Structure 1
Amino acid sequence: MDSLVASNIRQRPLRTLISVLGVALGVTLVMLFTGLAHGMSNDLQRRSSNMRAEIIFTRPGSQQLTASLMNLSTQYVPRLEAVEGVERVTPVAIQANQSGRGFGFENVEGVEWESFAAINETKIVRGRAPAAVDEIVIDETKARNASLDVGSTLRLFGNKPYRVVGVYAPESGARIKMPLTGMQDALEAPGRCSYIL
């Protein structure tokens, strides 16, 4: 039997090489994608663990993988604040945006900065909080990976320019945040949000 294997390798070296390369490629791809999935999962878990809200109020079907519907009225905010035991409430809009790096997408959140920062213990480490509808803040990872800082311009929602006015920490949720009113204007959805923390 050993001589049969050895003779096949000697007689058909190209077929043997192709078989070895095919198996090596398969093993390499499995290891690569396992590592990527593990890294993405850890990143998402770390950012999600920095969200301090205990309850997320939303409508069924309002969040999907590549899109988020702004189908929840912000009129629920005062009603939820009136519930006994609720300390603070903040509406959040989330929208998937084409990544500036070509392939893929990234989420952008529209928030009322003061209440969002108070709930999640988020601080501006450079610059200031966004105030105008064309201003955004980014987390430290986004600033480092995309070589952005206070004063930079980022294009969102069909190539509209938005000015980076601050960098926040710790990272939580989407890496890009803008005023809720700015997202409502950009998406023509006044008085709407995706969920309420």
Structure 2
Amino acid sequence: MNKLIFANLLHRPLRSIISVLAVAIEVIMILSIVGIFMGMLNDQKTRANGIGADLVMRPSNASVFNGVSGAPMSAALAGPIRKLPHVALVSPVITKLSTDGSIETIFGIEYDSFNALRPFTFVAGQPFSGPNDVIVDDVFAGATSKNPATGKPYQVGDSIEILNTSFRICGIVEHGRGARKLIPVDTMATLMGVPQGKASIFYIKVDNPANDQDVIKEIQAVPGLQSYPVQTMQEMLSALTPEKLPGFNLALKVVTGIAVIVGFLVIFQSMYTAVLERTREIGILKSMGASKLTIVTVVLRETAVLAVGGVLVGIAATYGVRTLLLHIFPTQHFEITSEWLVRGALIAFAGALLGAMYPAWMASRKDPIDALAYE
């Protein structure tokens, strides 16, 4: 029976290849959207954790995602917070989400206080010396981020455009400090069209992490600060989940649904046509005593072989897509996890078997006398 199954698939190579590709497309679509979104989330978690803060204070009703809440807070709020017991440092930062070329968050920082949270490790260059200086990380400046003017990796002194403004790279630092591009906070305020002395978020360092909750209570007891939510960095990072990402679950459901429909229809058509073409073969099997269950099993086993082939091709192609995207957008992350490899494979496999159910049922109902007389 196994020889019969593989012989049937090899006898119709074009149809088999199309079926395999349909299942592969399912896998690629599912793993790609998950890989892009999860890569963005986990990359933001890693870089936020690398800032060195213990607490964060945001505007009321602000998003947990950096760069989407504007700069509604006064930087002067840092003054009373710095006076509280157990508060070691407070750094006001303006964050801006940029979609120019790629999606990224740019930080406007007060260099001295931000550097004090966790000192920068400079690979080259130095801190800001002018309003149009920018510090970039080594990932952005790496070999895959070519300067279009020179065709070489970015170096100190090169110019880059941020928010339609030319900036000079004054320093290159090790990655993991909140953003890949950091500019002076006053310059960021000007570019965003907000008054000087504004902030999107306050990063706070406590003298001892054991005092986090005490400091949170003290901040919320300060007159005028009651409406500003304060949370630990770990609480903020735990909120960076797919459920909190706007549209993630909806986009995943839509893409998964489309992928399953594509795979279902192609497998359905392939197996339905195969059953019609193999009427005499089915009649011979039934005349030899094959039961309805045996006929159904034959069709489903053929589909399973196609599905397994499609899953393997899809997984391999997803790694190819990942390599291509990282070459085009080197600062973006594309994360492929074992959990989603299994989930994507199961979804595609189940969709393929579902598409073969009716053709298998139709084949099992064929009358052996009519089938043998079929021309």
Q: TM-score, normalised by structure 1?
A: 0.83
Equivalence for 1:110: 108
For residue 171 of structure 2, the aligned residue among 166, 169, 177 is: 166
Equivalence for 1:76: 77
Report how far residue 168 of structure 1 moved: 1.6
For residue 195 of structure 1, the aligned residue among 165, 187, 201 is: 201
Give SS of 2:171's match: strand
| Aligned CA distance change for structure 1 residues 184 and 7 (closer, same or farther; 3 Å) | same
Q: How does 1:33-48 map to 2 (within 5 A)?
A: 33-37=33-37, 39-48=39-48
Equivalence for 2:190: 185
Equivalence for 2:181: 176
Which stretch of structure 1 is more off in the superposition, 88-97 or 186-195? 186-195
**In 2, distance between residues paired with 1:2 and 1:119?**
65
**In 2, distance between residues paired with 1:6 and 1:51?**
57
Matched-pair identity in %: 26
Report how far residue 44 of structure 1 moved: 3.0
Say if 2:156 is the partner of 1:150. Answer: yes
Give SS of 2:87's match: coil
Name whichever structure is richer in helix by fraction. 2
Contact 1:68 1:96 survives alignment (8 Å): no
**In 1, distance between residues paired with 2:5 and 2:66?**
50
| Aligned CA distance change for structure 1 residues 143 and 7 (closer, same or farther; 3 Å) | closer
Structure with greater contact order relative to length (CA < 8 Å, sep ≥ 6): 2
Report how far residue 30 of structure 1 moved: 3.5
Which stretch of structure 1 is more off in the superposition, 8-17 or 178-187? 8-17
| Aligned CA distance change for structure 1 residues 9 and 58 (closer, same or farther; 3 Å) | same
| Aligned CA distance change for structure 1 residues 105 and 90 (closer, same or farther; 3 Å) | same
Q: Any stretches of 5+ residues in structure 2 without a counterpart?
A: 146-152, 204-375
Contact 1:110 1:182 survives alignment (8 Å): yes
Q: CA RMSD in A?
A: 2.7
Give SS of 1:143's match: coil
Give SS of 1:89's match: strand
Equivalence for 2:217: none
Report how far residue 43 of structure 1 moved: 3.1
**In 2, distance between residues paired with 1:124 and 1:2?**
63
Show CA shifts across 1:163-182 (max 9, x none): 11011235211110011111
Report how far residue 31 of structure 1 moved: 4.0
| Aligned CA distance change for structure 1 residues 167 and 2 (closer, same or farther; 3 Å) | closer
Give SS of 1:77's match: helix
Rg larger in 1 or in 2?
A: 2
- Report the count of equivalent residues: 193
Equivalence for 1:61: 61
Report how far residue 94 of structure 1 moved: 0.4
Q: Any stretches of 5+ residues in structure 1 without a counterpart?
A: none
Which stretch of structure 1 is more off in the superposition, 35-44 or 177-186? 35-44
Equivalence for 1:130: 128
Contact 1:137 1:168 survives alignment (8 Å): yes
